[in-house]
Amino acid sequence: MFKRDTKDFINIDPLQTGGKLTEEARKALAEWGDGYSVCDFCTTGRLDEIKTPPIFDFVHHQLPEFLDCDVARVTNGAREAKFAVMHSLARKDGWIVMDENAHYSSYVAAERAGLNIALVPKTDYPEYRITPENFAKTLEETKKKGEIVLALITYPDGNYGNLPDVVSIAKICEEYGVPLLVNAAYAIGRMPVSLRKINADFVVGSGHKSMAASGPIGVLGMREDWAKIVLRRSEKYRNKELELLGCTARGATIITLMASFPHVKERIKRWDGEVEKARYFASKMEEMGIKQLGDKPHNHDLMFFHAENLYEISKKVKKGRFFLYRELKARRIHGIKPGLTRYFKLSTYGLSREEVDYVLNAFAEILEKYGQNI
C-alpha cells in the first residue's frame, strides 16, 4: 500500500493548502470512490443533468450563483476549462494576449488550440506586477499583427501571489473588443470572486487547488452569450457538448467538490483574516532577512521569498541544496520543494495562528543553528 509520510505535517504548499478535503468530502470519497459511482445515475448522457446525486442543481444553480455568472460547468481541471474556451474561440492565425506571470498550462493550452501568443511583460524585481498599462500596450501592439480572439489574466499568479487590477484590465479588453478569461485557480474557493463585478467574459477555478476537492477538477463560468459557442453540441450526439468531450469530472471528483461546497462558501467570508495572516507571516520573515517578493502590502496567501541567508548556508553544508527541506521535514513541516533555498514560495492558507508561529519559529531555529544572526 502506498503511504504519504507527510500526511500529518503542517502543509505550506500553495498547491495543496486550499485543496485539503473537508471531513464531509472524506466521507463522500469513501462512499463514491468507485469509478462508475456517478455514471450509474446518468440517464440522459449528460453529467450536468444528473438529478440524484444533485449534480444538476449544483452545476446549473449553486455554481453560477457562487461565481456570479450566467452559465457554469465543471471540467477535468482548470487547464481543460481554459483550453475549452481557447479552442472554441480560435481562428486561423488568431492571437491570444496573456500575462507573463501566467501558469504554464495557460501557455500550452493556447499552443494546443493553435493560437499565436503575445505576453504582457511583468515589472522588474522585486514586484513582478502585471499592470493595466502594460496590458493595454500589448493589446495595441498585437492587434497590428492579426486578430486577437482572447485575452487571459492570471488572478492571482501561481508564482508571486500578485492580484492584478483585474477590473481595469477587463475594461481595457472591452474597449479593444477582446473577450477576457480570468484564470482564478488560486482565488475561487479561497476568496470572493464575481464574474459580474470583474466584468470579464470567462472565469476558471480549480477544485483540487482551492475548493477542497479531490482532483483533478475545475470549474468554468461564463456570460450567457458565450454559451452557444463554448458549449456547442455534437452534430451526431446532440446532447454532448463538444469542448467538454461529452462528459467531464465524474465520480469522486465532482462528489467531493459538492460535499465541500457549503464549507467553501463559508470560508471565503473569512478571507480578510487569511490576508492579515499572510502579511503577518511575511513581516516576520523579513525581520529574519528573508525578503517577500511581489505585491506589498500582500493581498493573497501565496507568497514568494528571496532568502540569501539560507542560500549562503546551502553553499557550505553537506548536500546543501536539500538542507532546508530536511530541516523543515524534521520539524514536521511540508511544502517547500526539495532543493530550493534561495527562492521559494509557500502559503499560510488555512493554518491557525499557532501553526503560523510554529513555522516562523522553525525558520528562526534553522538560521540560528547554522550561525545566521537574526
pLDDT over threshold 80, residue 186: yes
Confidence bin at 373 (pLDDT 50/70/90): low
H or E stretch at 257: helix 252-267
For residue 145, what pLDDT is reported? Answer: 98
In a domain, 322, yes or no: yes
**Domain C-terminal end among 267, 302, 328:** 267
Q: Which residue(s) pair with 363 in the sheet?
A: none
Write the burial class of residue 297 (CB in 10 Å: 0-12 exposed, 13-18 middle, 19+ buried). Answer: exposed
In a domain, 2, yes or no: no
In a domain, 59, yes or no: yes
271 three-state secondary structure? helix
Q: Are residues 224 and 297 in the same domain?
A: no
Task: Quote the CA–CA distance of 169 and 318 in Å, as a whole number.
Answer: 48
Confidence bin at 33 (pLDDT 50/70/90): confident
Residue 83: all three cell numbers together: 483550453
The model's pLDDT over 117-152, given as tens digits with 9 standing for 90+, comes to 999 999 999 999 999 999 999 999 999 999 999 999
Are the C-beta atoms of 67 and 194 separated by less than 8 Å? yes
Rounded to a whole number of angstroms, the CA Rg of the chain reads 22
Sheet holding 180-183, edge to edge: 71-75, 218-222, 202-206, 180-183, 148-154, 95-99, 116-120
In a domain, 63, yes or no: yes
Task: Quote the CA–CA distance of 9 and 6 in Å, as a whole number.
Answer: 5
Segment 47-65 shows an average pLDDT of 94
Segment 318-343 shows an average pLDDT of 95
Cα 198 to Cα 97, 165, 167, 184, distances in angstroms? 18, 10, 5, 12
Is this model's pTM higher than 0.85 or not?
yes
Q: Are residues 258 and 282 in the same domain?
A: no
Give which of 351, 361, 369 is closest to 13, Cα–Cα: 351
H or E stretch at 203: strand 202-206
Confidence bin at 1 (pLDDT 50/70/90): low
Enclosing domain of residue 40: 23-267
Q: Are residues 259 and 235 in the same domain?
A: yes
In a domain, 46, yes or no: yes
Total tally of structural domains belonging to the chain: 2
Q: Which residue(s) pair with 344 in the sheet?
A: 305
Q: Are residues 235 and 309 in the same domain?
A: no
